[in-house]
Amino acid sequence: MSGVDFLVDTNVLIYALEGHPAVSGIIQCSVGLSVISEMELLGKKGIRPHEIFAIRHLLNDCNIMKLTDEIKDVAIVLKQAYTLKIPDAIVAATAIHWELSLVTADSDFKNIKELDLVRLTLS
C-alpha cells in the first residue's frame, strides 16, 4: 500500500500505548493496521474513556486497512493451512494482500511461509 512502511499487529500498538521503548521508533514510521486491530483495541471489556482517547489518538497516526473480499479469501486459505485464530488470520492476510511486512511480538505467525514477518523480542 502506498505510503505505508509495514503492518503492525495489535500487540505492537499495545506496547506503544504502554510507552515501551522497543516500539517507539516503529510507531514513528508510516504504519498500517488491520481493522481487526482497531476492533481489538477499542473492544476491550471495561475500557475507560481515557484509554479510548489514547487509542484513538494513536490510531489517527495509522492507516487502517479495511477487510475486503480479497483479504477475507486469503484469511480463509491461511485458516485452512495453519493453526490460527480468525483475528490472526485476518491480520496476516492483510499484510500478505498489501505485500507488507508484519511487525509483531506474537509467535503465532512464525510458521506462515507466505508472510514477511518481523518478530520483536521484548525484554
| pLDDT tens readout for residues 82-101 | 989 999 999 999 999 999 99
Full-model pTM: 0.91
- Cell 476492533 sits on residue: 39
**Is pLDDT at 110 greater than 60 in this prediction?**
yes
| pLDDT tens readout for residues 50-77 | 999 999 998 988 899 999 999 999 999 9
| pLDDT tens readout for residues 14-33 | 998 888 888 877 776 788 99
Domain boundaries, the chain: 6-119
Helix (H) or strand (E) holding 55: helix 49-59
CA-closest candidate to residue 14, choices 2, 22, 6 = 22
**Is pLDDT at 1 greater than 60 in this prediction?**
no
pLDDT of the residue at 26 = 76
Q: Tell me the CATH class for 6-119.
A: alpha beta
Joined together, the cell numbers standing for residue 113 give 511461509
| pLDDT tens readout for residues 31-42 | 899 999 999 999
pLDDT of the residue at 2 = 61
